[in-house]
Amino acid sequence: MSEADSAEKTAEAATEKPAEAANRVDTTSALAPEETERLGADIVAALKTVYDPEIPADIYELGLIYKVDIKDDRAVDVQMTLTTPNCPAAGDLPNFVENAVASVPGVGPVTVNVIWEPPWTPDRMSDEARLVLNMW
């Protein structure tokens, strides 16, 4: 895949809502498809245990996770954002994400990058998050 194709794929993934991308885990892995699927599902489950301390919805359903990339060596790169650059939990949430993903059996080193483009907006939230936050 060329860099342009990769950038386009990342941009497309970044605009998806969690409900549309429930099983979206990008991979450049040579792992067996079943193992990649298991790791992906377990990583999403781990991400759903991480909550912004000020919002009663998990960060995955809030749409704060933009990309999860599982590498050949089981290393995992996560691209995430925050609801705002001034988020009081900005210092903690990336560490919470790193620890949650690292707790998944079979996962290697975890890298979490906070990105700001595209910016987070409430339309990234899943229906589940909207229900919890009474945002209908």
What gap in Å lies between CA 73 and CA 90, rounded to an integer? 29
Q: Which helix (H) or strand (E) holds 76?
A: strand 76-80
Tens-digit pLDDT profile for residues 1-20: 444 444 344 444 444 454 44
Give the model's confidence band at 136: pLDDT under 50 very low, under 70 low, under 90 confident, else very high. Answer: low
Q: How far is CA 52 from CA 6, 70, 121, in A?
A: 30, 24, 15
Per-residue pLDDT, 5: 41
3-state secondary structure of 77: strand
High-pLDDT (> 70) share of the chain, %:
78
Apex 103 CA angle, 53 and 89, nearest 5 = 20
| Number of other residues whose CB lies within 10 A of the CB of residue 15 | 12
| Second-level CATH architecture of 3-128 | 2-Layer Sandwich (3.30)
DSSP state of 107: -
The residues spanned by each domain of the chain are: 3-128
The alpha-helical segments, DSSP class H, found in 1-136 are: 3-14, 33-47, 59-62, 93-102, 127-132
Tens-digit pLDDT profile for residues 53-104: 888 999 999 999 999 999 999 999 999 999 988 888 888 999 999 999 999 9
